[in-house]
Structure 1
């Protein structure tokens, strides 16, 4: 691990998730107290139901997301922010006609995710 006290830029290529356009940043690797996904999904894409032992906050940078929070479905569009509380099952899908760019901030320096299925 590098010296996390030195200011640094983390290149996007180092954060790519597989062959997708989505980035995954885990704070503990970089001296940060948060983690995040910078989602870049096509219509119909999104993660299945999952939960975390901490809050997750989403901000829609571009597009439209239908977010399942517990038993409720909410729609968030460009500029909207939504929050899910700890231990609540949630997921989202790009229900727009174009790309969905979504910042998913995890209130933890380490991502802890439990999948429902």
Structure 2
């Protein structure tokens, strides 16, 4: 098993899924999004934790929309539809943590 993994090895979405690395019980997206980029509305059967490292993002969590900047942690509750978009002028960098060895999500928008 590899213990040191270069970001480029995680593929174009920079997704680390623990199941691919010996069953590690955590998965995450290593996000580097340009202005205007972000995923469509989706939902998970578990909480998702977003660690905003650089930039600014607008999060939609159910009926709530809130803009946050670097230095914030956002929690997306289980079963609550959510999405984010880079609402800043620069690159958005964050880690999106999924508490399981694989990402489970259902897309709600086309």
* TM-score, length-scaled by structure 1: 0.87
Mapped partners of 2:92, 2:61: distance in 1:
18
- Report runs of 4+ in structure 1 exceeding 3 Å deviation: none
Mapped partners of 2:108, 2:62: distance in 1:
12
Mapped partners of 1:12, 1:48: distance in 2:
23
The residue that corresponds to 1:12 in the other structure is 7
Indicate yes or no: 2:23 matched with 1:28: no
Residue ranges of structure 2 left out of the alignment (5+ in a row)? none
How much has 1:16 moved relative to structure 2?
2.4
Mapped partners of 1:57, 1:72: distance in 2:
16
How much has 1:98 moved relative to structure 2?
0.3
Q: CA RMSD in A?
A: 1.1
Q: Could you say what secondary structure the match of 2:36 adopts? A: coil
How many pairs does the alignment contain?
108
How much has 1:43 moved relative to structure 2?
0.4
Q: Could you say what secondary structure the match of 2:19 adopts? A: helix
How much has 1:8 moved relative to structure 2?
1.4
